[in-house]
């Protein structure tokens, strides 16, 4: 009787079959001919009390004999209480490299990351710190000891980087587990409890007292810092923007007619378009940048390469050339201190000028406007303050001539 219930198909029939339908061979194995003419092997099994259809591949690639062998193996695993699909994915996990899985996860998540630069940093952190150790290892072989080998050397020296890498490793391993390539607990979560505890510290950027900023403008203008760097720093001060936003700024983002700079959402930390009112001083900086005639789409390109200035250029100008104890980001804090301590501009306006996200979800849901005109008054007052010492000198000179 058994001889009549298995091996019903022949290689010739498989080759010539064209009529759409399912043709049984035994052991739950079927040849599935689709309307398009494509042929696939499918096995119907009961696994742990549930019916399961398992694809065994295209009939143009997998022969009848190979399909029968796979069907027998699957049936044996199911009878012993196992899961043939789990076994299949486990074998794949033993052959797929960690690097290949990481690249697949990056490609999946990159479109949802806040901008292209962040997506590049996401991958670069793995290339620098993870791939040299784990890249050529099978994804199923990664253990908590391997995670510790990656994170421990940088956990204290580069703690922020290490935390980001830990998060990315966790995402990669969760994805691999969801695909069935690995089983058991996430090795990243197993490694977490034994990583050294970090003492919490207040992480404030070094900032100049706001009342020293007019002197900074004067000092910068009289320095021997390269013109493109001078202009970028002045423009950054006048707009209270982040360094990354200024260094990547393009001429196409400047609306001269309406005196505003429109930064696209892809370049903003919060992922939202940010419009910045430009004071007359900021427009003057842009005119000076145009006069450089560097023929670049960037406002402040490296004069030698035409590429954006490096992240360290502005910091070097402040700390090494001008000998000032401040970070570039700290200049935004100086702006906030000036606005809070010396003006009547509301906190809401100054926070929006800094493009800060609203932490209160209810408030964020109801805020619709951009307070653009109020911010224009704020940025004009800020520019007048920054150049106040030069205005006083000009008035004195004019008074002497009269």
CATH number of the domain to which 128 belongs: 1.10.150.130
Least confident of 98-102, 181-185, 395-399: 395-399
Does 91 map to a domain? no
Spell out the residues 6+ positions from residue 144 whose beta carbon is closer than 8 angstroms to its own.
187, 188, 190, 191
What integer pLDDT is reported at residue 311 of this predicted model?
A: 83
State how far the Cα of 98 lies from the Cα of 147, in Å rounded to an integer.
12
Task: For the chain, give the number of residues.
Answer: 402
**Direct distance between the N- and C-terminal alpha carbons of the chain, in angstroms, rounded to an integer:** 121
User: Do 228 and 317 lie in a common domain?
Assistant: yes
Token pair, residue 381, equals: 């007052």
Greatest Cα pair distance in the chain: 121
User: Do 143 and 227 lie in a common domain?
Assistant: no
User: Do 273 and 385 lie in a common domain?
Assistant: yes
User: Do 231 and 175 lie in a common domain?
Assistant: no
Does 110 map to a domain? yes
Which of 49, 82, 115 is the last residue before a domain boundary?
82
User: Do 256 and 332 lie in a common domain?
Assistant: yes
- Please check whether residue 208 is in contact with residue 331, taking contact to mean a CB–CB distance below 8 angstroms: yes
Average pLDDT over residues 218-243: 93
- Residue 54 phi/psi, 5° resolution? -115, 120
Does 204 map to a domain? no
Average pLDDT over residues 119-137: 90
Does 202 map to a domain? no
In the chain, % helix, strand, coil (3-state, to 5) comes to 55, 10, 30
Does 15 map to a domain? yes
Spell out the residues 6+ positions from residue 264 whose beta carbon is closer than 8 angstroms to its own.
253, 273
DSSP class of 318: I
State how far the Cα of 235 lies from the Cα of 227, in Å rounded to an integer.
12
The sign of the torsion formed by the CA atoms of 368, 370, 373, 379 equals: positive
User: Do 16 and 140 lie in a common domain?
Assistant: no
Q: Write down the mean pLDDT value for the chain.
A: 84
> Can you state the angle between helices 388-401 and 213-222, rounded to 10 degrees?
70
b/e map 36-71, b = 16+ CB within 10 Å: eeebbbbbebebeeeebebebeebeebebeebbebb
Q: What pTM, to 2 d.p., does this model score?
A: 0.54
Which of 132, 163, 194 is the last residue before a domain boundary?
194
Query: How would residue 114 be classed by pLDDT, with cut points 50, 70 and 90?
Result: low
Give the CATH number for residue 60. Answer: 3.30.160.390
Does 226 map to a domain? yes
Residue scoring higher pLDDT (97 or 398):
97
How many structural domains compose the chain? 3
Give the CATH number for residue 296. Answer: 1.10.443.10
Half-sphere exposure of 322 (CA within 13 A, CB side): 28
User: Do 325 and 248 lie in a common domain?
Assistant: yes
State how far the Cα of 155 lies from the Cα of 161, in Å rounded to an integer.
8
Least confident of 214-228, 337-351, 386-400: 386-400
State how far the Cα of 331 lies from the Cα of 87, in Å rounded to an integer.
58
- Please check whether residue 243 is in contact with residue 249, taking contact to mean a CB–CB distance below 8 angstroms: no
State how far the Cα of 102 lies from the Cα of 36, in Å rounded to an integer.
35
User: Do 8 and 106 lie in a common domain?
Assistant: no
Average pLDDT over residues 2-29: 83
What integer pLDDT is reported at residue 72 of this predicted model?
A: 86
| Proportion of the chain above pLDDT 90, given as a percent | 46
Which of 82, 106, 130 is the last residue before a domain boundary?
82
Instruction: Tell me, letter by letter, the H, E, C secondary structure of 246-301.
Output: HHCCEHHHEECCCCEEEECHHHCCCCCCEEEECCHHHHHHHHHHHHCCCCCCECCE
Token pair, residue 151, equals: 């994170």
Cα-based distances in Å from 230 to 212, 223, 292, 301? 17, 9, 12, 12
Least confident of 84-93, 161-170, 171-180: 84-93
- Please check whether residue 73 is in contact with residue 114, taking contact to mean a CB–CB distance below 8 angstroms: no
User: Do 373 and 265 lie in a common domain?
Assistant: yes
Does 340 map to a domain? yes
Residue 276, beta-bridge partner list: 261
State how far the Cα of 93 lies from the Cα of 8, in Å rounded to an integer.
34
Least confident of 75-84, 214-223, 270-279, 381-390: 75-84
Token pair, residue 332, equals: 């935004």
User: Do 347 and 237 lie in a common domain?
Assistant: yes
User: Do 221 and 365 lie in a common domain?
Assistant: yes
Token pair, residue 184, equals: 């058991």
| Residue 391 reports pLDDT greater than 70 | no
DSSP class of 156: T
User: Do 276 and 156 lie in a common domain?
Assistant: no
Instruction: Show the domain range for 12.
Output: 2-82
Does 24 map to a domain? yes
């Amino acid at each position: 009787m058994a001889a009549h219930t298995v091996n019903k198909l022949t290689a010739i029939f498989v080759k010539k079959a064209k009529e759409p339908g399912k043709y049984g061979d035994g052991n739950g194995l079927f040849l599935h001919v689709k309307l398009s003419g494509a042929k696939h092997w499918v096995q119907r099994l009961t696994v742990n009390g549930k019916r399961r259809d398992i694809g065994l591949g295209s009939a143009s690639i997998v022969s009848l004999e190979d399909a029968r062998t796979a069907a027998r193996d699957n049936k044996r695993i199911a009878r012993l209480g196992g899961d043939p699909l789990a076994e299949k994915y486990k074998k794949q996990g033993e052959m797929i490299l960690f690097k290949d899985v990481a690249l697949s996860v990056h490609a999946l998540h990159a479109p949802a990351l806040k901008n292209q630069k962040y997506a590049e940093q996401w991958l670069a952190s793995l290339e620098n710190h993870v791939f040299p150790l784990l890249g050529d290892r099978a994804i199923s072989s990664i253990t908590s000891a391997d995670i510790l080998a990656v994170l421990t050397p940088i956990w204290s020296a580069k703690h922020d980087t290490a935390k980001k890498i830990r998060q990315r490793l966790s995402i990669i391993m969760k994805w691999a587990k969801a695909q069935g390539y690995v089983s058991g607990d996430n090795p990243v979560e197993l490694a977490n409890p034994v990583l050294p505890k970090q003492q919490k510290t207040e992480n404030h950027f070094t900032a100049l007292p706001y009342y020293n900023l007019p002197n900074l403008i004067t000092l910068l203008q009289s320095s021997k810092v390269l013109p493109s760097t001078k202009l970028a720093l002045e423009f950054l001060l006048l707009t209270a923007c982040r360094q990354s936003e200024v260094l990547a700024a393009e001429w196409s983002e400047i609306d001269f007619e309406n005196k505003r700079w429109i930064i696209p959402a892809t370049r903003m930390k919060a992922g939202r378009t940010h419009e910045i009112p430009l004071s007359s001083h900021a427009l003057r900086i842009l005119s000076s940048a145009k006069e450089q005639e560097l023929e670049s789409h960037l406002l402040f390109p490296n004069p030698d390469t035409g590429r954006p200035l490096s992240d360290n250029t502005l910091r070097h100008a402040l700390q090494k050339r001008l000998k000032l104890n401040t970070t570039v980001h700290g200049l935004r804090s100086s702006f906030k201190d000036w606005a809070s301590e010396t003006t009547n501009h509301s906190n809401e306006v100054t926070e929006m000028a800094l493009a800060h996200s609203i932490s209160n979800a209810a408030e964020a849901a109801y805020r619709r406007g951009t307070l653009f005109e109020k911010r224009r008054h704020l940025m004009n007052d800020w520019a007048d303050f920054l150049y106040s010492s030069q205005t006083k000198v000009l008035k004195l000179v004019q008074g002497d001539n009269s």
